[in-house]
A and B are shown apart, each in its own frame.
Chain A
Amino acid sequence: MSKVSAAAVRDVVVQIQEASKQKQRKFVETVELQVGLKNYDPQRDKRFSGTIKLPNIARPNMSVCILGDAFHCDQAKGAGMEFQSVEDLKKLNKNKKLIKKLAKKYDAFLASEALIKQIPRLLGPGLHKVGKFPTPVSHNDSLIDKANELRATIKFQLKKVLCLGVAVGHVGMTEDQLIANIMLSVNFLVSLLKKHWQNVKSLYLKSSMGKAYRLF
């Protein structure tokens, strides 16, 4: 049973969004969940690391590029999405600088299933190093849906300290959207901890520039 109710989350979300409106920033503030752990030893206990697929897009500004076969390049063109064909990639001639430039230009990549197997040979480890190796997409998938899936997936990793920060949304989302993302994140993270809620010392929510509000 969750120790955090949707009602409690709503209260905090309302406060955060109110505070964010009061002091408008030049960018859309991210909403971050901060988890403080206890009874957990990063040196001995199993790694706490992975991804969470949220119900609502947390990073709407994430730029996605399609590395596509003919089919997907056409689809991308039609959808107004950025793309590169096999020929475009071959033209890079495995030039490290050019590949680095491509890797830096976008936040994430999708690649046609047929193409993705060629990526290591076409590009070498260039995308690996920056953690942007593409996610496969099939002809049955919608490119837009897949790209949005990437925008709704967040990473978390605990590194040697007992606190973890996870981006769960942004202040431009509706209350309900934020609450849904937060509830799912909290329950998922807790489910991965051996002692579940006994491993959680505190939960805070904050917007990028705002103060932290305690949830638990």
Chain B
Amino acid sequence: MSTAIDIQTCTDILPSFQLVKGIDLGYKNDYVFDVTANSQYAITSASDNFVRLYDLGTLQLSYTIPAHDSKISKMKLKSDQFLFTASEDKTLKRWDLRTAGSTGPVQTFKYNKNLTAFDINCNDTMAIVGTEFSSSDFSADIAFYDTRNTNLLSKFTDSHGDDVTEVQCHPTTPGQFLSCSTDGMINNYEVTKFDEEEEMISAVNSGSSVNKAGYFGPNAEYIYCMTHIETFSLHTLEGDTICDYGDIRNIGLTQVNYAIDCNYDPISQRFYLITGSNTGTVDFFHVNIGQLQHCQQLQGGHTDVVRSLYWNHATQSILTGGEDGRLCAWQGQV
């Protein structure tokens, strides 16, 4: 690990989570990619390009939505009503969960490149998508849409040298967002006029290929960075490095093969790194500067790589989805 990261075990930070139910996708060897939930449904996106809605109470499959013609790169829930999916079929779609997407998407945003990432800003006025690097025009783009009418507002074509892997909008500032890429960069922007030359506020060079990055903190004043070579670091919005945890596979306390995600709990103001093993175990680490506290483990639910985790802090319920094609529901004693 990077210079002396203290690894500890601390079992009173989180309750113990029990597996409530595990559901299989279907007959073929498909993967669950993303999981999320609203007040009614547990929701998965899978490698068969379908979005599935499961009744949150019974976890029975309620609806199957044939969402896209190619790979669903990302799925995010942006309110209790609206679900969004972006795909390599070059579209971003908005689904109304009140009709369970049964009449198709209520909005479709189209671009001319495979979409690999997206987010919707905090007041649902703008959609921002990131694309794959295209060898036809040698760029990976960030495109901006007006969510009130699906019009393309603008695009940035110089900001990344390779595939955009994540776009995260700031939780309270409508024009602020970050994008990250396999080019190793995390760019933080505040857009008002869509001037690519002027509106990049700061940038962090991870030194490798960025898998995920996002804001965290009580005022979303920090940025986390997870790379494809399983290194993890924290930064300020201005671009300083707060802590570099190095290769998390060296944690040693438990079998960590990869990072699943980071999760910020605004109630307790705690920040967590969630990791997985190739055999399906999930571990939770409470993150402090210079220290990782192992606080919980989920086992017995999955038998293969876990790709996504949804955590409802208020109810302490968790959903996980993975390459074994399973959706698992876990409950912690509140």
Q: Does A126 contact B (CB under 8 A)?
A: yes
Which of A117, A135, A153, A155 is within 8 Å of B239, CB to CB? Answer: A117
- Contact (Cβ within 8 A) B182 A157: yes
A38-71 CB mask vs B (1 if < 8 Å, else 0) is 0000011111111110000000000000000000
- Contact (Cβ within 8 A) B160 A128: yes
Q: Does A119 contact B (CB under 8 A)?
A: yes
* A residues in contact with B263, CB < 8 Å: none
Which of A49, A94, A192 is within 8 Å of B182, CB to CB? Answer: A49
What total of chain A residues lie within 8 Å of the partner, measured CB to CB? 36
Give the CA-CA distance A119 to B305 in the complex, in Å: 39
Give the CA-CA distance A14 to B16 in the complex, in Å: 57
Q: Does B143 contact A (CB under 8 A)?
A: no
Known interface pairs A125-B159, A131-B162; A43-B201 also in contact (CB < 8 Å): no
- Contact (Cβ within 8 A) B182 A133: no
* B residues in contact with A43, CB < 8 Å: 47, 71
Give the CA-CA distance A48 to B258 in the complex, in Å: 12
Give the CA-CA distance A130 to B211 in the complex, in Å: 19
Most buried by B among A49, A157, A191: A49
Which of B162, B183, B202 is within 8 Å of A117, CB to CB? Answer: B202
- Contact (Cβ within 8 A) A51 B208: yes
A115-140 CB mask vs B (1 if < 8 Å, else 0) is 01101110011101111011110000
- Contact (Cβ within 8 A) A46 B305: yes
CB distance from B317 to the nearest CB of A (A): 26
Please report whether the interface of chain A is mostly helix, strand, loop or mixed according to DSSP.
mixed
Chain A residue at minimal CB-CB distance from B162: A131
Give the CA-CA distance A52 to B231 in the complex, in Å: 12
- Contact (Cβ within 8 A) A50 B158: no
Q: Does A194 contact B (CB under 8 A)?
A: yes
Chain B residue at minimal CB-CB distance from A156: B209
Please report whether the interface of chain B is mostly helix, strand, loop or mixed according to DSSP.
loop
Most buried by B among A52, A116, A120: A120
CB distance from A46 to the nearest CB of B (A): 7
Which of A47, A50, A113, A194 is within 8 Å of B305, CB to CB? Answer: A194
- Contact (Cβ within 8 A) B198 A124: yes
CB distance from B328 to the nearest CB of A (A): 19
Interface size class on chain B is 35 or more
* B residues in contact with A157, CB < 8 Å: 162, 182, 209
Interface window among B61-69, B222-230, B266-274, B285-293: B222-230
Chain B residue at minimal CB-CB distance from A194: B278
Known interface pairs A46-B258, A120-B202; A128-B228 also in contact (CB < 8 Å): no
B222-251 CB mask vs A (1 if < 8 Å, else 0) is 000001111000000011110000000100
Give the CA-CA distance A104 to B320 in the complex, in Å: 45
CB distance from A8 to the nearest CB of B (A): 25
- Contact (Cβ within 8 A) B205 A125: no
* A residues in contact with B184, CB < 8 Å: 51, 131, 133
* A residues in contact with B230, CB < 8 Å: 192
Give the CA-CA distance A195 to B207 in the complex, in Å: 26
* A residues in contact with B162, CB < 8 Å: 131, 157
- Contact (Cβ within 8 A) A192 B229: yes
- Contact (Cβ within 8 A) B197 A125: yes
Known interface pairs A128-B187, A135-B205; A50-B198 also in contact (CB < 8 Å): no
B187-218 CB mask vs A (1 if < 8 Å, else 0) is 10000000011101111010111010000000
CB distance from B242 to the nearest CB of A (A): 13
- A:188-202 near B, CB below 8 Å: 191-192, 194-195
Known interface pairs A125-B159, A128-B185; A48-B228 also in contact (CB < 8 Å): yes
Chain B residue at minimal CB-CB distance from A99: B197
* B residues in contact with A192, CB < 8 Å: 228-230
Chain A residue at minimal CB-CB distance from B230: A192
CB distance from A90 to the nearest CB of B (A): 15
Q: 10 A-B contacts, Cβ less than 8 Å apart?
A: A44-B71, A49-B228, A50-B229, A51-B184, A51-B229, A52-B229, A116-B205, A128-B158, A129-B158, A131-B183
User: 7 additional contacts, CB 8 Å, given A51-B208, A128-B161, A133-B184?
Assistant: A51-B209, A120-B201, A125-B159, A130-B161, A133-B205, A135-B205, A155-B209
